[in-house]
Amino acid sequence: MKKQTKVFSVLFLIIVVLHIFGLLYNETLGALTKPFITILLAVVYLSAVKKPSFWYISALFFSFWGDTFLLFKDQFFLFGLVSFLMAHILYIKISSGYLRKIGFTKIITASIPFVLVFGSIVLLIKDNLGDMLIPVIIYGIIISAFGTLTLLNYLQQKTTENLWLFLGALIFIISDSFLAVNKFHEAREMYGVTIMVTYIVAQYLICKAMIIKDS
């Protein structure tokens, strides 16, 4: 790892620690540090690779806006949802580029666990979705597709970076599931920390995978 990448990685870790501390004890600190999570991930990535992926940087760009919009909770929730939807569409584009030709049956089989999770979450929260039903369903389909593609990619080539990419997608889905339950079913204080910890881990794993793939 390059020296500058190590420095930026340490800065990323410091921001993460400050953010989690802020979520637990200081709301202002939590809000101030949140946008810097994806900014520093982008800096870590750019410092580590020779030929940066435009699509990955774009995904982090939309993730940044998703994080920023969700700071305002109800007022800009839909904008945050759309921002992360765009990020996941870009992650799908990136992941599909790593896949060799694959049969329809394998795609359906790989999608089953993600469809089951998505369906269970929708059934749990559907009575409280109201006008958000269609946007949430669209978002769920997109993120399930992301998970399916990364699983197929790992099954085709079981490398460390493909495992990181798959785990990143899987943990992203877990994070979004907690977010959906917290907002549309039963709000709990512990969910806030769980959502962000899983989200940060997911983005970090995806970043690690992209660094290896683009180095």
CA end-to-end distance (rounded Å), the chain: 11
pLDDT of residue 187: 80
Residues 110-169 pLDDT 10s: 999 999 999 999 999 999 999 899 999 999 999 999 999 999 999 999 999 999 999 999
pTM across the whole model: 0.94
Pair of tokens at residue 60: 């982090």
DSSP-assigned letter for residue 159: -
Residues 91-103 pLDDT 10s: 999 999 999 888 8
pLDDT of residue 188: 80
Pair of tokens at residue 167: 């785990």
- Domain extent for 31: 3-214
Number of domains comprising the chain: 1
Report CA dihedral (49, 54, 59, 64) to the nearest 10 degrees. 80
CA-angle at 111, arms to 150 and 204, nearest 5° = 30
What angle separates helix 77-96 from helix 54-70, to the nearest 10 degrees? 160
Half-sphere exposure of 146 (CA within 13 A, CB side): 31
- The rounded distance, in Å, linking the Cα atoms of 114 and 116 is 5
pLDDT of residue 12: 97
Mean pLDDT taken over the chain: 94
Q: What is the mean pLDDT of residues 19-37?
A: 95
Alpha-carbon Rg for the chain, nearest whole angstrom, is 17
More confident residue, 192 or 208: 208
72: closest CA among 36, 34, 42, 41? 34
The structure tokens 């399930």 sit at: 144
pLDDT of residue 100: 86
Residues 40-73 pLDDT 10s: 999 999 999 989 999 999 999 999 999 999 998 7
* Residue 14 binned pLDDT confidence (cut-offs 50, 70, 90): very high
The answer to whether residue 83 scores a pLDDT higher than 90 is yes
* Residue 190 binned pLDDT confidence (cut-offs 50, 70, 90): confident
Judge contact between 99 and 149, C-beta under 8 A. yes
pLDDT of residue 1: 66
